[in-house]
A and B are shown apart, each in its own frame.
Chain A
C-alpha cells in the first residue's frame, strides 16, 4: 500500500468519524468544532487529489466563512452559547433510511477497471480557463443566485417588515 493510499484511508476515516460526531454530540458549539475539522479534512483530501485550488477554496469558504457564520448563528440565537438541546435520539427509521441509501449507492455502482488510473496534475491556470470558458454560464448563474440569495437574506432579517 502506497503512502498516498494510507493518507487517504486515514483522512477518510477522520472524515466519516467527524461527520458522525458533528451530528451526535450534545453541545451545539462542539458540533461546529467537529464540522470544522471535517471541512479541513476534506480540504486535505482535495490536496491529495492534486486539486490545490479547490483545497484552498474549501479552507477559505467552508472551514473559514461557513464555520464562522454558523457560530455567529448560535451566538445570536441563544443567551448562553453552551446549551444542551442540540441532539435528539437516533431514531430507528431515519437510521434505516440512511443505511438503505448507502447500500443502494454502493450496490448501484458498476464494474471499474482493475488497473489503477494515474492521477493527473494540472496547473490552476487551466482550471480558470475551464471556469471562464466552457463553464462560464454556470459561473454567471452562481453570481445571479448569490445576488438574489443576499437580497433574500437581507429581506428576511430586516427590522419591521410587513
Chain B
C-alpha cells in the first residue's frame, strides 16, 4: 500500500496540458503539432489513471478502461494525421501548416 501526492499529479498533468497547448500554438510543422496534441492527450489519460488508482471499489477501474479507449483514439488520430501529412507533402511539397491552404490536387 503506497500513497502518492495528489497535488503532484495535478501539477504534472496541468503542466503537460500547458506544454501541449503551447506547442499547438507555436509550432508550424504538422508533425510537431501532432506531437503537441499527443502530449496534451497524455496529460488527460494520466488523470484518468491516477484517479482510478484510488477508487475504493473495482468500479473505479472505469477510469483505466476509459484510458485504454483514449489510447486507442490517440493512435487513430496519429494515423489519420500522418495520412494528412503525406497528402499535404505530395500536393503542396511542404508540411508547414502556414503554407498549407488546400488539400485538393
Residues of A within 8 A of B (CB): 2, 4-5, 8-9, 12, 15-16, 19-20, 22-23, 28, 31-32, 35, 38-39, 42, 45-46, 48-51, 53-54, 57-58, 61-62, 65-66, 69-70, 72-74, 76-77, 85-91, 93-95, 97-99, 101-102, 105-106, 109, 112, 116-120, 122, 126-127, 130-131, 134-135, 138-139, 141-142, 145-146, 149-150, 152-154, 156-157, 161-162
Contacts and interface: CB of A to CB of B under 8 A. Distances in A.
Chain B interface, >50% SS class: helix
B86 A94 contact: no
A46 to B, nearest CB: 6
B65 A138 contact: yes
B91 to A, nearest CB: 10
Contacts of B83: 152-154, 156-157
Contacts of A57: 68, 71
Given A16-B12, A76-B86, A118-B2, A97 B64 contact: no
Contacts of A9: 8
A93 B82 CA distance: 28
12 contacts: A28-B32, A46-B49, A51-B49, A51-B53, A76-B86, A87-B27, A88-B26, A94-B25, A105-B17, A127-B68, A130-B65, A142-B69
Contact of B15 (A102, A130, A141, A157): A102
Nearest to A139: B69
B83 to A, nearest CB: 4
A102 B10 contact: no
A70 B31 contact: yes
B35 A5 contact: no
A69 B12 contact: no
A50 B82 contact: no
Given A38-B39, A54-B67, A74 B19 contact: no
A58 to B, nearest CB: 7
B60 A120 contact: yes
B4 A138 contact: no
